[in-house]
Amino acid sequence: MTEHRELFAAAMADPATPLDLPCLLMGNEVTPGLDVRGFTERLDALADVVAAGLPGAAGPAAIGRHLRSTLGGDVGFAGSAADYDDVRSSLLHEVLGRRRGLPILLSVVWLEVARRIEVPAHGVGLPGHFVVGIGDPEDVRGDGLVLVDPFAGGVPVPPSTVYGAIGHEPTARDLRPWDTRRTMLRILANIRNWAGRSDRVRTRLWALELSLLIPGCPEVLRREHGEALARTGDYGAAATQLEAFAELVEAEQPLVAKSARQDARTARARLN
């Protein structure tokens, strides 16, 4: 295992790890030798800019307006439809440089700035979107929680948008904070999906391999990993992964296990 993957695994083993470290370590997959400290210092500098004008004793709405005027306005972090077709939109170091990205990566910027200036903020994963909650995640119907959309420059998220995304009045469970592990799995899923659409099997492979280093990752990723290895021609490793997946799901999903074992036999046959 490479050094940056060892560091990534160590970071993901600690549930208290903030998002910036694993996101930047992931960048080594496309930019070997990435200056992680340098990009961490960029986040520090952004936090200094935001902190300079932060209103004292302000509520979530006022804090949200200030973050919007700085990060979304003066600094210019936002996204557009075109960003979904660019893998750079899922890489924090690229997002910090380009100020463009997917909703979840732009939310990471907001969350890491907020953490540095001790603003209570958390990520909220909605179906098909990702936003930032500022304030108390339990205060769903009061004025102690404001949802903002970094992809749209930080505008408040109307209740109707949340209702439309989840199909009912939001509860504290719907808007609960996403931890680092869950957020990283979604970031990596976005990369896997992008790679699948553009037939970038090597990109899909490293996204899978990083996902498998995250405690609690879905077992089905082991099967995906085996399939991706087979597509690269590494049939022996593919068969091993598929057989390991079959062992994991045998008791509860015997038909799935049987199918995975058949795929493993097919992969091994290609070694001859």
Please report, rounded to a whole number, the percentage of residues in the chain having pLDDT higher than 90. 86
In one-letter notation, the amino acid at residue 91 is: L
Give the model confidence (pLDDT) of 147-197 as tens digits.
999 999 999 998 888 988 899 988 888 999 999 999 999 999 999 999 988
User: Which pLDDT belongs to residue 115?
Assistant: 97
Q: Where are the beta strands (DSSP E) in 20-153?
A: 121-126, 129-135, 145-149
User: Which pLDDT belongs to residue 163?
Assistant: 87
Residue 185, CA distances (Å) to 104, 214, 215, 221, 226 in order = 11, 8, 10, 11, 18
Closest CA to 49 of 72, 80, 22: 72
Measured over the CA atoms of residue 122, residue 126, residue 130 and residue 132, the dihedral's sign is: negative
Give the model confidence (pLDDT) of 76-125 as tens digits.
999 999 999 999 999 999 999 999 999 999 999 999 999 999 999 999 99
User: Which pLDDT belongs to residue 179?
Assistant: 97
And the tokens for 50?
């935001």
Give the model confidence (pLDDT) of 131-141 as tens digits.
999 999 998 88
User: Which pLDDT belongs to residue 9?
Assistant: 98
User: Which pLDDT belongs to residue 55?
Assistant: 83
Residue 74: band (very low, low, confident or very high) from pLDDT cuts 50, 70, 90 = confident
Is pLDDT above 70 for 68? yes
Residue 57: band (very low, low, confident or very high) from pLDDT cuts 50, 70, 90 = low
Q: Can you tell me whether residue 133 is helix, strand or coil?
A: strand
Give the global pTM: 0.95
d(C-alpha 101, C-alpha 77), whole Å: 8
